[in-house]
Copies of this chain bind each other. A is one copy, B any other.
Amino acid sequence: MSQSVIKVGVVGASGYTGEELVRVLARHPRVRLAAVCSRSLAGKSVADELPRLRGIVDPALKFSASSPEECAASDVDAWFLALPHGVAAEYARPLVAAGRRVLDLSADFRLRDLASYRKHYGHEHPAPELAAAARYVIPELQSDTSWKSAPLIACPGCYPTSIQVPVVPLLRAGLLRPEPGRLVINSCSGVSGAGKKAEVAYLFSERDGSMKAYGVPGHRHIAEIEEQFAAAAGAPVVVQFSPHLAPMHRGIATTIVVPAPGVTAAQVEEVWRRAYAGRPFVTVLASGDFPDTAHVAGTNRVAFSAVADPRTGNLVITSVIDNLLKGAGGQAVQCLNLIMGWDEAEGLR
């Protein structure tokens, strides 16, 4: 077994996503966490700076401030990038050039349409040639295994994961009628989704007791949702997406309303069961049993169910994930597991 242990590194490990990645990788039986990079924390002890990881990481482990070139020159086999968009590409380019596996959690490589990237992120794409070679991967939605040999995996955003897993199979099966603007998505995210930013808006005293919408109507995640939905539907899809902040640390609850006249919950469940047979992280709940963020917190699972409303002809789909795991680091590790030919759930149970 020992020959299959590979060396992995995390760049941008000081945030909540990075911390969760480090937690998962430190306990993963088939990887050795060889590098944990953070410019702001370079030289400091990981266990001291991220005390939730005490007892999990090696007490001697320290943050390093490695440059993209230093990372590429090291003998680390696979890199997880938990960096802001724009910065991720700076690391991705030399790492890919050096033949390293790259799992990017930023938005840099999620879009195939670079005009869409420019529009949503406000600058030219920093590495267009790499964007063309990258693959956007929710493992449960891949129809073949070609993605495993891509030089770079673009891990989806947290909201998009909670949305695509239940919806994409239904679009592919032609069960939905997503006329423009009629696929209405509401998501409620825990505060960790905003990152570890020292801003008044994210203080406990501001968010406690607070539910509110934000970023409506033009949240950046719409770009990747629509690009993926179009591929699944074989035609453009225009969604109405309204994200909200909820007073909790982690989790996303998404509610999707979409016209599907005459479609029953049983039909929907049949499509889901076929699409997700044997997938360890997908829980299809019975119609009328609504998923709960508290039930997936700390796991890599996505849980969802559907009700059909004969009064309106709509399906109402509700789904939940842990934004830091299935919505970020957990899904990235799941990708690595599959790339390496390991059990999909290795280190994630």
Interface residues of A (CB under 8 A from B): 16, 27, 51-52, 54-56, 180-182, 184, 186, 188, 190-192, 196-200, 202-214, 216-217, 238-240, 242, 244, 246-251, 253, 255, 257, 259, 280-281, 283, 290-295, 297-299, 301, 303, 307, 309, 311-314, 316, 318, 320, 349
Contacts and interface: CB of A to CB of B under 8 A. Distances in A.
B349 A56 contact: yes
Contact of A205 (B202, B214, B293): B202
Contact of A242 (B54, B311, B316): B316
B312 A211 contact: no
A324 to B, nearest CB: 10
Report copies per complex.
4
Contact of A211 (B188, B216, B242): B188
Given A205-B191, A240-B312, A283 B54 contact: yes
B196 A198 contact: no
A282 to B, nearest CB: 9
A211 B246 contact: yes
B191 A196 contact: no
A216 B299 CA distance: 26
Given A56-B349, A213-B255, A217-B316, 4 more contacts: A55-B299, A209-B297, A211-B251, A212-B292
Given A249-B205, A255-B242, A312-B238, A320 B211 contact: yes
Contacts of A55: 280-281, 283, 299, 301, 349
Contact of A213 (B207, B290, B313): B290
Given A212-B291, A248-B210, A294-B208, A312 B202 contact: no
B202 A203 contact: yes
Contact of A212 (B52, B313, B320): B320
A223 to B, nearest CB: 12
Nearest to A291: B212
Contacts of A303: 54
Contacts of A295: 51-52, 54
7 A-B pairs with least C-beta separation? A181-B312, A210-B294, A211-B253, A217-B309, A212-B292, A204-B207, A191-B204
A297 B198 CA distance: 23
A191 B207 CA distance: 11
B293 A210 contact: yes
A208 B244 CA distance: 17
Given A180-B312, A295-B54, A309-B181, A27 B209 contact: no
B242 A257 contact: yes
A217 B51 CA distance: 22
A171 to B, nearest CB: 17
A168 to B, nearest CB: 20
- Count chain B CB atoms within 10 A of each CB in A196, A199, A207, A212 and give the residue with the most: A212
Nearest to A48: B289
